[in-house]
Chain A
Amino acid sequence: MAYLIHLAIISSLYAILGISLNLVVGYAGLLSVTHAAFYGIGAYTTALLTLYAGWGFFTSLVCGMAIAGCAACGIAIISGRFKGDYYALVSFGFNIIVFSILLNWQTLTRGPLGIPGIPRPVVLGMPLVQNGHFLLLALALLGVVYMASEWIARSPFGRALKGIREDEEVLRVFGYHVATYKTIICSISAMCAAVAGSLFASYISYIDPSTFTLNESIFILSIIILGGLANMRGSIVGALIFVLLPELLRFVGFPPDIAAQTRQVVYGLILILLMMYRPQGIMGEYAL
């Protein structure tokens, strides 16, 4: 049971990341490959503030959200000039910048040594030491992120985002300030990613820069492409598949000498097959 609870927590974190990225990629049509950077900002903010400043989890979470939101705002202002593949490249660059800062600003982040001993959150005076209790917190935050994202998606703001995705010029002609819309949605998305980062740091209790690489951003992007773009439930399904499928393959009796490699080959094949038969993702309403 403890193993299932652990996987449920990890799935919840990735569902939050998927939902938040879907706002930018699925609704606004901006191919962002930088989500791990905001995830890392949230994780490091929580780690540093709880460990060294003695702040509580929720205060540090809000602080992480604010920093990630501001960073995203700055990036969106710069990258607002770019579209399509060029936008992806700019976002890619930002991920590398954040990763380099986490790795090289050693007086603050301890660089490759990472930060161990991050405390668990305390809710109503009760530290969430039990994973079951932590799962409730993770699900609660997932619920908040899900509902907020659905609300945004269904609001006039969300419809304008879809309009930007379909034809930016038309929106401009109708008097929408497209750059502002993009900046706002990028900031909201980054703030939600920071929530996942804070949860990750306090759950695993150790973070190092290797968790927040470009590969992680691609992994999160894969979750929403497989689950379905512009569909929040699709992000949850994508997260479940990406987290649970490799774990499921651990139970398949491959020959011990090649088990690890075979699992990864099978995992890759399943993803290829899924994309062949569902190129728009399992629940997607829009294909990149």
Chain B
Amino acid sequence: MNIKHTRVLIVCVAVIACVFVYYAFVDQKQIDNDIRIGGAFGLSGNCAEWGEGEKMAAQMAVDEINASGGVLGKQVRMIIEDTQCENKTTVNAVMKLIHADNVVAIIGPTWGDAYQGASAVFNQTKTVGISPDTAMEALELENQPIDYIFSTYAPQRKEIDALQTHAARMGIKTVASVWDQDSYSTMMTRLFKDAAVNHGMQVVEEHEMPTGNQDFRTTIAKIKNKNPDAIFISFLAAHTKASFLKQAKDLGLQSRILSAADIQDESVLKSFGALMDGVIYTYPIATSGQKTFKEAYYAKYTTEPQGPSAVNAYDAVRILVAALASGAEGGEDLRNTLLRTRIKGAFIEDLGFNEKHQVGGGTFEVKTIRDGAFVSLQ
């Protein structure tokens, strides 16, 4: 290595070291009067359409709380980091929020696979993490510790049970499943299959598709050949849902389409409304909170809530702040307080966490999409 290279190396290392040392040792010592919470959302990458909505809804909750006087006389400040929807970057973002920004708790991360990567960090550092969209069942199945991990997303088993009860009532006996190769969709489909027998249904055809796949014509043709009473779909990306539904219509597929709660996405409805007509899904029973949230979101951002989990991010901030308002300071204390805290939620009326750290209250209703609107079937 020549002298020029050595200089370049020394300068690079020195600059990087100075900045990190400043933030690691100096900045965190600054005492301010804010309560810092972290927001680890997928703002770029393949979960960005969920993460952006979560970020905006969480920020809206923070702004509302601050406008009404904050918490115990202090303002709440949310420091937002991008997880890029990847395991490694999520861990980086969470480590930065916990150790460099000294946040008391974190809202996020977006999506379960990234969340599982960060879950060890939450438990090791005793930092509460409330995800707006994680299936706690994925952690439960593996007997993973959930000490500091919470989710405000719909409990998947409860959701599937409501959907299958309704499907059985409609006389559906045979079902085909089509899903994305991601952890959320795989988990949903597995739960659907496991519980199908209890409702007198049989899964006759299964198609696991590479994530991002847009061409379902061969799959649809195969399903059509089996002629099942219904098809259960689970795709995370809006354009994937739209592609499947469009191709199913084009190929004249007559089977009913069943879906999980993630189909109730205002931004998808706006873009692909007519294609989604007739899809049957479950969602927590509509509350005045859901309507108020939607109106407030529109008033603030002049757009519909983006992604299916925006309302869950909004609730995650509100229940966290409620726990902080009752005097919890972080770590074990905050975790225990959160388990006792109940608020009037936007997603579910009586929002609180059960022993599995999922939202415990709420009943699911069966809904469909008709004439560009989400309507209840009950």
Q: Which residues from chain A sit less than 8 Å from chain B, CB to CB?
A: 1-4, 6-7, 10, 103, 111-114, 116-117, 129, 204-208, 210-211, 231, 233, 237, 240-241, 244, 246-248, 250-251, 256, 259-261, 263-264, 282-283
Assembly CA distance A251 to B100 (angstroms): 10
User: Contacts A211-B87, A248-B20, A250-B96 given; 7 further ones with Cβ under 8 A?
Assistant: A2-B98, A3-B24, A10-B88, A113-B186, A208-B87, A247-B96, A261-B44
By a CB distance below 8 angstroms, the chain A residues around B89 are 246
| Chain B: minimal CB distance from A77 (Å) | 29
Q: Which residues from chain B sit less than 8 Å from chain A, CB to CB?
A: 1, 5, 8-9, 12-13, 16, 19-21, 23-25, 43-44, 59, 80-82, 84, 86-89, 91-93, 95-96, 98-100, 113, 116-117, 119-120, 124-125, 138-139, 142-144, 181-183, 185-187, 210-211
Q: Are B82 and A263 in contact, CB atoms less than 8 angstroms apart?
A: yes
Given known pairs A2-B99, A3-B96, A282-B5, the reply for A237 and B12 (CB within 8 Å) is yes
By a CB distance below 8 angstroms, the chain A residues around B84 are 260
Among residues of B, the one whose C-beta sits closest to the C-beta of A208 is B113
Given known pairs A204-B120, A208-B183, the reply for A2 and B95 (CB within 8 Å) is yes
Q: Are B20 and A4 in contact, CB atoms less than 8 angstroms apart?
A: yes
| Chain A: minimal CB distance from B33 (Å) | 20
Q: Are B91 and A4 in contact, CB atoms less than 8 angstroms apart?
A: no
Assembly CA distance A115 to B278 (angstroms): 37
Residue of A112, A231, A261 near B181 (CB, 8 A) is: A112
Q: Are B182 and A6 in contact, CB atoms less than 8 angstroms apart?
A: no
Q: Are A260 and B183 in contact, CB atoms less than 8 angstroms apart?
A: no
Q: Are B92 and A247 in contact, CB atoms less than 8 angstroms apart?
A: yes
Assembly CA distance A6 to B12 (angstroms): 19
Pairs of residues from A and B, 9 with the lowest C-beta to C-beta distance, nearest first: A260-B82, A260-B43, A3-B99, A205-B120, A2-B99, A6-B95, A206-B116, A3-B100, A112-B181
Assembly CA distance A2 to B88 (angstroms): 16
| Chain A: minimal CB distance from B94 (Å) | 10
| Chain A: minimal CB distance from B357 (Å) | 15
What secondary structure prevails in chain B residues at the interface with A?
helix
By a CB distance below 8 angstroms, the chain B residues around A204 are 87-88, 91, 117, 120
| Chain B: minimal CB distance from A238 (Å) | 11
By a CB distance below 8 angstroms, the chain B residues around A256 are 59, 80
By a CB distance below 8 angstroms, the chain B residues around A240 are 12-13, 16
Q: Are A233 and B23 in contact, CB atoms less than 8 angstroms apart?
A: no
By a CB distance below 8 angstroms, the chain B residues around A231 are 1
Among residues of B, the one whose C-beta sits closest to the C-beta of A3 is B99
- Inter-chain residue pair count (beta carbon < 8 A): 116
5 A-B pairs, CB-CB below 8 angstroms?
Answer: A3-B95, A3-B98, A114-B116, A116-B116, A237-B9
Assembly CA distance A247 to B143 (angstroms): 32
By a CB distance below 8 angstroms, the chain A residues around B19 are 248, 251
| Chain B: minimal CB distance from A97 (Å) | 14
Q: Are A113 and B183 in contact, CB atoms less than 8 angstroms apart?
A: yes
By a CB distance below 8 angstroms, the chain A residues around B139 are 116
Among residues of A, the one whose C-beta sits closest to the C-beta of B20 is A4
| Chain A: minimal CB distance from B326 (Å) | 28
Among residues of A, the one whose C-beta sits closest to the C-beta of B123 is A205
By a CB distance below 8 angstroms, the chain B residues around A116 are 116, 119, 139, 142, 144
Q: Are B86 and A210 in contact, CB atoms less than 8 angstroms apart?
A: yes
Q: Are A248 and B16 in contact, CB atoms less than 8 angstroms apart?
A: yes
| Chain B: minimal CB distance from A200 (Å) | 8
| Chain B: minimal CB distance from A115 (Å) | 8
Assembly CA distance A206 to B93 (angstroms): 16
Assembly CA distance A210 to B23 (angstroms): 31
| Chain B: minimal CB distance from A287 (Å) | 15
By a CB distance below 8 angstroms, the chain A residues around B185 are 112
By a CB distance below 8 angstroms, the chain B residues around A208 are 87, 113, 116, 183
| Chain A: minimal CB distance from B51 (Å) | 9
Assembly CA distance A248 to B18 (angstroms): 11
Among residues of A, the one whose C-beta sits closest to the C-beta of B2 is A283
| Chain A: minimal CB distance from B12 (Å) | 7
Given known pairs A251-B19, A282-B8, the reply for A112 and B182 (CB within 8 Å) is yes
Q: Are A4 and B24 in contact, CB atoms less than 8 angstroms apart?
A: yes
Assembly CA distance A231 to B22 (angstroms): 31
| Chain B: minimal CB distance from A105 (Å) | 12
Q: Are B117 and A206 in contact, CB atoms less than 8 angstroms apart?
A: yes
By a CB distance below 8 angstroms, the chain A residues around B117 are 204, 206
Residue of A129, A207, A248, A260 near B44 (CB, 8 A) is: A260
